[in-house]
Amino acid sequence: MFKRIAVVNRGEAAVRLIRAVKELNAEYDYGIRTVALHTDSERRAMFVRAADEAVVLRKPEVGSAYLDHGELERALVESGADAVWVGWGFVAEDPAFADLVARLNITFIGPCADAMRLLGDKVEAKLLAEKVGVPVAPWSGGPVHTRSDARRHAAAIGYPLIIKARSGGGGRGIRKVFAEDELELA
């Protein structure tokens, strides 16, 4: 069983995890401690106050500390965590972060990096689903490279249809197409 879980998220996501761990501890007396990784401006946030401990993420020169692998590595080592929970968003779908956590010999609570790589590519995910017998909606059967490919597949599948980017998540890259005259723009 884990003894220290680093929480690499904030707000409601972090609060949910911290409460769940508290409930687990109350019911089974596990004694798991939560460590909130947070920015300096979040030091008084509810998720930081609710956690057992906290480690400040230093502000990177560019971007978010929650996406800075070097800073996350430093904070994880400082936290002494034997597990890390990311929830959703930030590095939750980042196989390179899962690899970093594995290199630190910390358990990543979530899918392994290889699963993220495989399922992050929507074409490969559908091919895998078909291979193991999971029903899938009618689709192109592979990547669509050109507009003429798109027209050919749309004619075979029928309308309405959805055009989905090969990568991305959370709804990014989805275009609904209700009729043939919308296909070119989508």
Q: pLDDT by residue (tens digit) across 43-57? A: 999 999 999 999 999
Q: How many helices (H) and strands (E) does the chain have?
A: 8, 7
**Mean pLDDT value across residues 19-34:** 98
- Give pLDDT tens digits for 54-64: 999 999 999 99
Is residue 17 predicted with pLDDT exceeding 90? Answer: yes
> Could you tell me if 72 and 90 are in contact, meaning their C-beta atoms sit under 8 angstroms apart?
no
CATH number of 121-183: 3.30.1490.20
Alpha helices in the chain (DSSP H): 11-28, 46-50, 69-79, 95-103, 113-120, 122-131, 147-157, 180-183
Tell me if 36 sits within 8 A of 7, measured CB to CB: yes
What CATH topology corresponds to 4-116? Rossmann fold (3.40.50)
Q: How do the domains of the chain map onto residue ranges?
A: 4-116, 121-183
pTM of the model: 0.82
pLDDT digits (tens, 9 = 90+) for 53-103: 999 999 999 999 999 999 999 999 999 999 999 999 899 989 999 999 999
pLDDT for residue 105 is more than 90: yes
13: nearest Cα among 89, 114, 103: 89
Query: What integer is the mean pLDDT of 21-40?
Result: 98
